Amino acid sequence: MKRTPSVVLGLCSYTHDSSAALLVDGELVGFVEEERLSEQKHTKLYPAHAIGWLLDQAKLSAADVDAVAYNFQPARYLAESPAALRMALSPTTRDRSLARAHGFAKVAVRTQRRLGVLGSQFPSAHVTPVLHHRAHQLTAFAASGWQEAAVLVVDSLGERQTTTIARGQGTHHPRARTLEVINDPASLGYVYGAVTEHLGWRRGDEEGTVMALAALGDPSRFRHLFARAVRTTATGFHIDPGYFPTRTLTSGYPRTSRRFVAETCSERHPSEPLTDVHRDLAAALQERTEQVMVHLARRTRVLTGSRRLCVGGGVATNCVSIGKIIESGIFDEVFVPPAPGDAGTAIGAALAVHVDRRNPCPVAGIARTCYLGPSYEDQSLDLTPWPGLRQKALGVETAEFLADQLAHGTIAGLFQGAVEAGPRALGNRSILASPLEPGVVERLNATVKFREPFRPFAPMVPAEHADEFFTLGQPAPYMSMASGVTDRTRERVPAIVHANGTSRLQTVTRSQNPFMHTVLTAFGRRTGVPVLINTSLNIKGKPICGTPEMALDCLANSGLDALLLEGRWITK
């Protein structure tokens, strides 16, 4: 008699960055963020599009799902309420203790209700809430493909936890054993989000803008403030509520204090010009974040004894901090998964349920891969809604054609294969440009991406040529690490070097992305420099283009010269 397969659906939903992942007998069918299909950036809605695609891929229905893994545990929120009430004993936290206790209890109830809603969608499934940081840990570790590694997760908040140190073991049945926990209100992600908001950008979305701005400022101006506000301890760090008042999970409570404003600057409106004080504040925040992250990495090394490190959580997207950890030499190699933020926890939650059920089937399809979403290779293309666009089919020399166009100054969108996981452009949904073209960064920011002029652009390079241009000394497949550069880079391709002397590179192997490796090689043959600028196929405020329609809109409504869409060259 044929055995019924185990079908586990992992979900991130109702908070932000909704996503879904599907495991069938331990094998990952796919993973996709809802925004790539719904066109709503950072959407918190139930990921109906993502789930529909996954079930269709597996030729299953909702009734076939026997387990739903959700990336939060409601009871863990409830446990914070008594601790919050004890904050009334301290004059620095007294004014928020009741609001904090109420806020955590309210979120616990809301999360429990969400589990019920999910259960109603899948009549044959048992819904299991998974500890948020455990989901992060398993995502990061399983994606590494390593048999054993240290795992450091740093984010804003998962139930009560903000930072965890664990040891991961096993490739076929990955597990992560937590060794140390830091709970809220000690939260590095909270502090970075608070200052991002204070500087006039969207918290939970534009922290990367602040990281870029930091390179233009002088951290010494506010260095001592952040040393007081974010104080390291023997086992982690502590946040001074005098600067960053405790979190309440209730709207209407500012994240920075009057003291913080008095000692720095007033809150900047997005329409106001940037001044030195804003640059210096960003620089000091970034410097302290890097220091704390390296401190946590050292603590992780001591606790685990491991020589390899996996990093997950929202703060893992701070590529300069990851670069500092690598430079420190604490670990032999550092790995960040392609989707280190909350969206990626859909994978980790599904893994947790698969492992806990003692399913004998080994985990597969997760390690060292990022192209996990929908693809549209065989879809016909109707340009009627875009009357200004023209298309022509390309032959077998598509990579050579694209390399030639780029070498002659064309800025081209690229839409090929499966949608990437995570927030970076990894060669399937990219905007590509020659770093040798005069004024290319200014043109990309002003007319293509419509974003701040100080924002840098990441380079991609064949892995075998990485050491000629970058000093990182290890693979960087997911554009998650900032690296120093060589003299050759400064001389030949200064456009890819940010003001802090680093580049957030992506190393590309032939096995990882054969097409992009061929394009890079062909571009290098024409120009002597096998390096391209690679940024995500979207404009500011929009998600990365997951569908052909989104890509065509991007071409039509931006300064892109052309779009290579599954073998078709589309121009205006």
* pLDDT one-digit tens code per residue, 539-559: 999 999 999 999 999 999 999
Query: How big is the chain by its Cα radius of gyration, in Å?
Result: 23
Counting Cβ atoms within 10 Å, is residue 126 exposed (0-12), middle (13-18) or buried (19+)?
middle
Residue 349, both tokens: 């939650």
Hey, is 20 helix, strand or coil?
Answer: strand
Amino acid 3: pLDDT: 60
What pLDDT is stored for residue 159 in this prediction?
97
DSSP state of 448: I
pLDDT in tens, the chain (572 residues): 456 779 999 999 999 999 999 999 999 999 999 999 999 999 999 999 999 999 999 999 999 999 999 999 999 999 998 988 899 888 888 999 999 999 999 999 999 999 999 999 999 999 999 999 999 999 999 999 999 999 999 999 999 999 999 999 999 999 999 999 999 999 999 999 999 999 999 999 999 999 999 999 999 999 999 999 999 999 999 999 999 999 999 888 999 999 999 999 999 999 999 999 999 999 999 999 999 999 999 999 999 999 999 999 999 999 999 999 999 999 999 999 999 999 999 999 999 999 999 999 999 999 999 999 999 998 889 999 999 999 999 988 999 999 999 999 999 999 999 999 999 999 999 999 999 999 999 999 999 999 999 999 999 999 999 999 999 999 999 999 999 999 999 999 999 999 999 999 999 999 999 999 999 999 999 999 999 999 999 999 999 999 999 999 999 999 999 999 999 999 99
Among 125, 115, 26, 4, smallest CA distance to 66 is for 125
Query: Which helix (H) or strand (E) element contains residue 466?
Result: helix 466-469
Gap between the Cα atoms of 446 and 449, Å rounded: 7
User: What φ, ψ does residue 131 adopt, rounded to 5°?
Assistant: -55, 130
Cβ-Cβ contacts under 8 Å for 413 (sequence gap 6 or more):
430, 431, 432, 537, 545, 551, 554, 555, 560, 562, 563, 564, 565
Q: Is 5 exposed, middle or buried (0-12, 13-18, 19+ CB in 10 A)?
A: middle
Give the pTM: 0.97
